[in-house]
């Protein structure tokens, strides 16, 4: 046991020495050459695999003991892999197993400091979990060669931090590359360096573009002609209106250089968020959609993957965010306190789920509408694929009601009304109004009601378009469809 402890101590001292060497930054540098100090935690991320392996080996006797409250080898490895670079460095300094657990507790890597991993649950309004990718340090701003020149006292400027399709020449930075960042990141790790500074004490502050300037400093200096560097994790502007990524304010005159050394994106290839009753990124489908929509673009779509379960919420689709359930019976989106359950009209697809509305009463205030659309976004057009859509309240019911924009329904079942006993209210399977367009293909539509209630499997009115291919309609058709497929004498469908 003594030999083992010495061996572990030696391994720890080597790991600490490597990291400590990377943290030893020069106290001064030549202003003419202007070498920029590397990010102090970059060496940790570059050597992450080896550091994690060393720590797992160091605590192998403990992990193999199978005592209560002790992590297994796999759990320890997973927990270490989730640690931020500074927390991973702190883990290398832990002299006892209790100290190691305290590092995990402080980092939030474990739920209770013992054996269970912390679920990645999020609440509405919070952003997605992010994964860090280190890169070779790359310059994105240099006020000596662009970016507006030296800062005037009290000035603010706006810049890009990631530019997947271009470079940073206009900002005095890299003129030939995008700095190895292939996506529009949610945050970056950067080094700020000021030099040729004006009178102090003074500071710069960096923050996401299009947000209020915070009352904190990113970097401080105290004298004229100072040269000071500091690393920071900088969240970037997301969503609509982000013509820039971040802003910088300088309280005194200064030149400034910004080097990016890593970037943050959601995990699972960057563009997948999970929803489940527990243990996922989110417990709410809408919360996941909102978080993804804040950073999604036409070239960087997101997928919200929903686990089996019943989700009692109203859902509004948003541009460039697709939603995938685990099957039309396994994943159920339900709502009963009014209508609709699902609002469409975005450039998005919803597939493999059930969408139910059971609100009771008469239209327009009450009643049940499962899917509703009044217009579509400029990017437009929602596609519903492999869904079970049902409006089955005790009063009026409409499976799909579209009053503007375009909607496609493929391989889905749409039910309006209660089949047994027959409902007493009106029932509309798929209804198009105004100047809307609905394309219905390879689906089944049912409309149930009593003899006295109005019902229609498909209804077209006003100047709307209703195109129907290879679809079973159980109930009357009201208004002439724009196109409805028929079969030729070889029993081949003629498409609209």
Other Cβ atoms within 10 Å of 146 Cβ, number:
15
313-349 pLDDT, tens digit per residue, is 999 999 999 999 999 999 999 999 999 999 999 999 9
Residue 298, phi-psi category: left (phi > 0), alpha (psi -120 to 50), beta (remainder)? alpha
Residue 355 bridge partners (DSSP): 333, 389
Distance of CA 11 to the CA centre of its chain: 39
Across 19-45, average pLDDT: 46
Higher pLDDT, 237 or 322: 322
Provide the pLDDT for residue 240: 61
In terms of pLDDT, which residue wins out, 125 or 394? 394
Report d(CA 320, CA 132) in Å as an integer. Answer: 23
> Is position 243 within any domain?
yes
- Check whether residue 472 and residue 432 sit in a common domain: yes
* Domain count of the fold of the chain: 3
Per-residue pLDDT, averaged over 72-91, amounts to 81
Q: What's the angle, vertex CA 185, arms to CA 180 and CA 191, rounded to 5? A: 70
Confidence at residue 15, expressed as pLDDT on a 0 to 100 scale: 46
CATH of the domain at 385: 2.160.20.10
Q: How confident is the model at residue 134 (pLDDT cuts 50, 70, 90)?
A: confident
Same domain, 384 and 457: yes
Indicate if the pLDDT at residue 382 is higher than 50.
yes
Q: Are strands 397-402 and 455-460 parallel, antiparallel or unpaired?
A: unpaired
pLDDT value at 51 more than 70: yes
Residues 422 and 312 in one domain: yes
Q: Is residue 394 part of a domain?
A: yes
Whether residue 91 has a cis bond before it, omega within 30° of 0: no
Is 285 among the domain residues? no
**CB count in 10 Å sphere of residue 96:** 9
Tens digit of pLDDT for each residue in 3-12? 443 444 444 4
**What was the pLDDT predicted at 129?**
54
- The arithmetic mean of pLDDT across residues 82-105, rounded, is 76
On whether residue 214 sits in a domain, the answer given is: yes
Same domain, 325 and 249: no
The CATH code of the domain that includes 173 is 2.60.120
Domain shared by 334 and 461, yes or no: yes
Helix (H, G, I), strand (E, B) or coil at 427: strand
CA distance 208 to 229: 20
- What is the rounded CA–CA span in Å between residue 75 and residue 82? 11
What is the structure's pLDDT at 266? 61
The residue segments making up the domain with residue 165 are: 131-265
CA dist 132 and 139 (Å) reads 18
Instruction: Tell me, yes or no, whether 476 and 350 share the same domain.
Output: yes
Q: Is residue 96 a part of any domain in this protein?
A: yes
- Residue 279 CA to chain centroid, in angstroms? 16
276 falls within a domain: no
Q: Which pLDDT does position 32 carry in this prediction?
A: 36
pLDDT at residue number 126: 41
Most confident of 65-74, 221-230, 320-329: 320-329
Q: Residue 299 class from Cβ within 10 Å (0-12 exposed, 13-18 middle, 19+ buried)?
A: exposed
Phi-psi category of residue 447: left, alpha or beta, with phi > 0 → left and psi -120 to 50 → alpha: beta
pTM check: above 0.75: no
Are the C-beta atoms of 57 and 4 separated by less than 8 Å?
no
Does one domain contain both 87 and 185? Answer: no
* Lowest-confidence region among 82-96, 208-222, 380-394: 82-96
Residues 456 and 346 both lie in one domain: yes
The pair of structure tokens assigned to 132 is 């860090």
Per the CB < 8 A criterion, the answer to whether 208 and 233 are in contact is no
pLDDT band at 450 (very low <50, low <70, confident <90, very high): low
Q: Return the number of other C-beta atoms located less than 10 Å from residue 213's C-beta.
A: 12
- Does one domain contain both 312 and 372? yes
Q: What is the C-alpha to C-alpha distance for residues 223 and 201, in angstroms, rounded to an integer?
A: 6
**Do 238 and 312 lie in a common domain?**
no
The mean predicted confidence, pLDDT, of the chain is: 80
Token code pair at residue 241: 């209106």
Last residue of a domain, one of 107, 139, 161: 107
| Residues 473 and 334 reside in one and the same domain | yes
Please check whether residue 155 lies inside any domain of the structure: yes
Pairwise CA distance, residues 85 & 48, whole Å? 8
Task: For residues 103 and 138, state if they share a domain.
Answer: no
Q: Which range among 117-126, 133-142, 288-297, 336-345 has the greatest average pLDDT?
A: 336-345
Which of 447, 364, 359, 435 has its CA nearest to residue 399?
A: 447
pLDDT at 485 over 70: yes
Mean pLDDT of 444-456: 77
52-56, 457-461, 464-468: which has the minimum mean pLDDT? 52-56
| 125 in a structural domain | no
Query: Taking 70 as the threshold, does the pLDDT of residue 378 lie above it?
Result: yes
Answer whether 289's CB lies under 8 Å from 312's CB: no
Q: What pLDDT sits at residue 115?
A: 32
SS3 assignment, position 396? coil
Please work out, in degrees rounded to the nearest 5, the angle formed at the alpha carbon of residue 46 by the alpha carbons of 257 and 205. Answer: 30
Q: CB atoms < 10 A from the CB of 375, how many?
A: 13
| Per-residue pLDDT, 69 | 63
Residue 269's pLDDT is 47
Please give the share of the chain, as a percent, with pLDDT higher than 90: 40
pLDDT at 268 over 60: no
pLDDT of residue 412: 96
């Amino acid at each position: 046991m003594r030999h083992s402890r010495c061996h572990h101590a030696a391994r720890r001292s080597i790991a600490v020495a490597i990291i400590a060497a990377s943290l030893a930054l020069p106290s001064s540098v030549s202003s003419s050459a202007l070498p920029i100090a590397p990010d102090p935690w970059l060496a940790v991320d570059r050597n992450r695999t080896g550091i994690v392996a060393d720590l797992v080996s160091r605590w192998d006797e403990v992990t193999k003991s199978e005592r209560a409250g002790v992590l297994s080898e796999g759990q320890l490895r997973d927990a270490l892999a989730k640690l931020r670079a500074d927390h991973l460095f702190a883990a290398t300094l832990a002299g006892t197993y209790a100290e190691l657990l305290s590092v995990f507790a402080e980092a939030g890597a474990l739920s209770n400091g013992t054996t269970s991993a912390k679920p990645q649950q999020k609440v509405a309004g919070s952003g997605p979990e992010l994964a860090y990718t280190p890169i070779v340090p790359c310059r994105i701003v240099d006020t000596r060669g662009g970016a507006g020149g030296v800062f005037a006292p009290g000035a603010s400027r706006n810049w890009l931090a990631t530019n997947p399709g271009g470079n940073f020449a206009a900002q005095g930075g890299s003129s030939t590359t995008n700095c190895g960042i292939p996506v529009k990141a949610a945050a970056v790790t950067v080094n700020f360096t000021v030099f040729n500074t004006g009178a102090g004490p003074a500071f710069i502050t960096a923050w996401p573009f299009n947000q209020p300037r915070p009352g904190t400093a990113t970097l401080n200096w105290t004298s004229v002609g100072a040269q000071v560097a500091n690393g920071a994790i900088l969240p970037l502007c997301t969503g609509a209106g982000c013509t820039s990524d971040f802003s910088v304010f300088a309280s005194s005159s200064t030149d400034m250089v910004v080097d990016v050394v890593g970037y943050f994106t959601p995990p699972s290839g960057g563009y997948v968020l999970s929803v489940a009753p527990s243990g996922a990124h989110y417990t709410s489908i809408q919360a996941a959609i909102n978080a993804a929509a804040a950073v999604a673009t036409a070239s960087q779509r997101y997928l919200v993957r929903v686990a089996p379960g019943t989700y009692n919420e109203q859902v509004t689709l948003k541009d460039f965010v697709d939603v995938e359930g685990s099957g039309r019976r396994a994943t159920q989106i339900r709502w009963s306190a009014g209508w609709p359950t699902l609002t469409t009209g975005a450039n998005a697809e919803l597939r493999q789920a059930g969408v139910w509305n059971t609100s009771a009463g008469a239209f327009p205030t009450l009643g049940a509408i499962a899917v509703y659309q009044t217009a579509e976004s400029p990017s437009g057009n929602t596609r519903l694929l492999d869904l079970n859509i049902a409006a089955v309240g005790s009063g009026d019911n409409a499976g799909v009601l579209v009053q503007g924009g375009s909607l496609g329904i493929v391989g889905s079942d749409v039910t309006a009304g209660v089949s047994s006993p027959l409902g007493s209210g009106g029932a509309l399977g798929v209804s198009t109004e105004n100047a809307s367009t609905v394309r219905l293909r390879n689906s089944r539509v049912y409309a149930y009601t009593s003899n006295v209630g109005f019902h229609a499997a498909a209804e077209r009115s006003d100047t709307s378009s209703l195109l129907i291919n290879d679809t079973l309609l159980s109930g009357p058709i009201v208004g002439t469809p724009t196109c409805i497929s028929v079969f030729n004498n070889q029993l081949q469908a003629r498409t609209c």
